[in-house]
């Protein structure tokens, strides 16, 4: 092979050897054919990708994060590492953790319409990854100083207490005359509003998680944490009615699934289907809500009726009380509106 016609060199980070065309040769045999800058860039990015994979695998083995959370970390971090690969090529002389890289990345993401809330989530994922690589002395040069993102804490829509009374009125639901699919959708709405569960938690409920005698249901929330949530008497009555209809449905479908909610084939209902069916059920009643809106309605109505904030925190499965405290803003605003409407000294009529 003539030195005047070098062939493509592809380094292999797994073996420590380098491929020259179809032959595997030690590095000393091909040193004259390697572009030093290309090798440096490739090695830098290949190592980052390898460490990222190890980090995500470690999260799986630890069992402290749900599959969905780890997948979200992967979706946030893989594009970042891929983007760094391009930037290391364009600016090979810069330090690996040059602040310019992160500023450009955040700005480019923002210009494509990515919200500050999503960028904040990315920074949170990157922070966890950087803590992991910080344990390795040779990787500390890849640690960036992370900024804090500001974003609005806009509350989602929620139904009023009057709307909830209308929603669960026997005259408007007519559940006694409906089949399994209608009863299933009604029961999902009723359980979401009565317990404040997340849609993923609702999807994961098994028949064995229900304790009708104690009026409780066990659910697995974020971080694979299990908690027990109370279920009201009226909802338990509806639940018993649903389980009877479900038993007939599974017998006809020859389904042995122990998931509480099933699709028309007798298989577990997906999270996406729960989203769609709950929203459609609300629309048939002239209301517009999602599973998340029902969760917020649950917390807001408890607070409006004098429930303790710490109790609401435990039922919702919040890790921090500050997350629950956002509902106080809603009820405070409700009280101010009521005051302005009703009190003669509010100044509203002047």
Q: DSSP characters for 149-215?
A: -----PPPP---HHHHHHHT-HHHH-GGG--HHHHHHHHHHHHHHHH---HHHHHT-BGGGEETTTT
Q: What is the Cα–Cα distance from 6 to 4, expressed in whole angstroms?
A: 6
Q: What is the pLDDT of residue 253?
A: 95
Residue whose C-alpha is closest to residue 308's, from 291, 295, 321: 321
Tokens 């809500």, residue located: 289
Backbone angles phi, psi at 103, to 5 degrees: -65, -45
Residue with tokens 């405290």: 325
Taking the C-alpha atoms of residue 151 and residue 120, their distance in angstroms, rounded to an integer, is 8
| Spatial CA neighbour of 189 closest among 96, 63, 123, 278 | 278
CB half-sphere exposure, 39, CA atoms < 13 A: 16
Catalytic positions, please? Answer: 198, 222, 292, 295, 318, 327
Q: How far apart (Å, rounded) are the C-alpha atoms in residues 83 and 86?
A: 5
**pLDDT reported for residue 110:** 85
CB-based contacts of 170-174 (< 8 A; 24+ apart in sequence): 172/285
Tell which CATH classification among 3.90.950.20, 1.10.443.10, 3.40.1710.10, 2.20.25.90 matches the domain 161-321.
1.10.443.10
How many alpha carbons lie under 13 Å from residue 85 in its C-beta half-sphere?
14
Ramachandran angles phi, psi of 21, nearest 5°: 60, -125
What CATH code is assigned to 35-142? 1.10.150
Give the number of other CB atoms < 10 A from CB of residue 82: 12
Domain range summary for the chain, segments of one domain joined by +: 1-34, 35-142, 161-321
Give helix 116-133 / helix 99-111 axis angle, nearest 10°.
150
**HSE, side-chain direction, 13 A CA sphere, residue 275:** 5
Torsion of CA 69, 264, 205, 66, to 10 degrees: -10
Q: What is the pLDDT of residue 85?
A: 80
Burial class (CB in 10 A: 0-12, 13-18, 19+), 46: middle
pLDDT of residue 156: 58
Mean pLDDT by 10 residues, the chain (350 residues): 38 40 43 43 66 91 83 92 82 79 87 85 92 87 83 67 85 69 95 93 96 92 86 92 95 96 96 95 90 90 83 83 66 60 56
Place of tokens 């700005």: 107
pLDDT value of residue 247:
96
Phi, psi of 300 (to 5 degrees): -65, -45
The sheet with strand 23-25 has its strands ordered as: 9-11, 18-20, 23-25
Give the span between the Cα atoms of 136 and 129, in whole angstroms. Answer: 12
How far is the C-alpha of 311 from the C-alpha of 307, rounded, in Å? 7
User: What is the reported pLDDT for 14?
Assistant: 42
What integer pLDDT is reported at residue 344 of this predicted model? 59
- Can you say whether the dihedral through the CA atoms of 196, 197, 199, 205 is positive or negative? negative
Q: In a 10 Å sphere around its CB, with 0-12 CB exposed, 13-18 middle and 19+ buried, how is residue 191 labelled?
A: buried
Q: What is the pLDDT of residue 192?
A: 95
Question: By C-alpha distance, which of 247, 252, 260, 242 is closest to 203?
Answer: 260
What are the tokens at 80?
Answer: 């970042």
């Amino acid at each position: 092979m003539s030195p005047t016609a070098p062939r493509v060199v592809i380094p292999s980070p797994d073996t420590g050897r380098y491929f020259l065309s179809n032959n595997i040769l030690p590095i000393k045999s091909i040193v004259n054919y390697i572009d030093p800058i290309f090798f440096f860039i490739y090695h830098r990015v290949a190592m980052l990708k390898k460490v990222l994979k190890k980090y995500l695998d470690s999260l799986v083995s630890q069992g402290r994060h749900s599959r969905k959370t780890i997948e979200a970390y992967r979706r946030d971090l893989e594009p970042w590492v891929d983007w760094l690969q391009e930037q290391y090529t364009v600016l090979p002389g810069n330090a690996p953790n040059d602040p310019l890289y992160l500023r450009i990345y955040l700005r480019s993401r923002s210009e494509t319409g990515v919200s500050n809330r999503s960028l904040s989530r990315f920074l949170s994922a990157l922070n966890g990854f950087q803590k992991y690589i910080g344990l390795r002395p040779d990787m500390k040069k890849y640690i960036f100083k992370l900024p804090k993102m500001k974003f609005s804490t806009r509350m989602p829509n929620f139904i009023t207490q009057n709307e909830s009374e209308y929603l669960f009125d026997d005259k408007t639901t007519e559940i006694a005359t409906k089949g399994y699919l209608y009863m299933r959708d009604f029961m999902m709405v009723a359980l979401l509003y009565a317990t404040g569960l997340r849609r993923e938690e609702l999807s994961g409920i098994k028949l064995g998680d229900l304790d009708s005698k104690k009026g409780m249901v066990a659910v697995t929330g974020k971080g694979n944490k299990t908690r027990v949530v109370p279920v009201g008497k009226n909802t338990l009555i509806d639940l018993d009615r649903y389980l009877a209809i479900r038993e007939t449905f599974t017998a006809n479908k020859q389904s042995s699934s122990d998931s509480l909610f099933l699709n028309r084939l007798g298989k577990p209902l997906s999270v996406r289907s729960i989203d769609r069916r709950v929203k459609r059920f609300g629309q048939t009643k002239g209301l517009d809500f999602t599973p998340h809106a029902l969760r917020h309605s649950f917390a807001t109505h408890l607070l409006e009726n004098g429930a303790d904030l710490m109790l609401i925190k435990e039922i919702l499965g919040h890790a921090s009380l500050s997350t629950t405290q956002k509902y106080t803003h809603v009820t405070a605003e409700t009280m101010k509106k009521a005051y302005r409407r009703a009190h003669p000294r509010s100044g509203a009529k002047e």
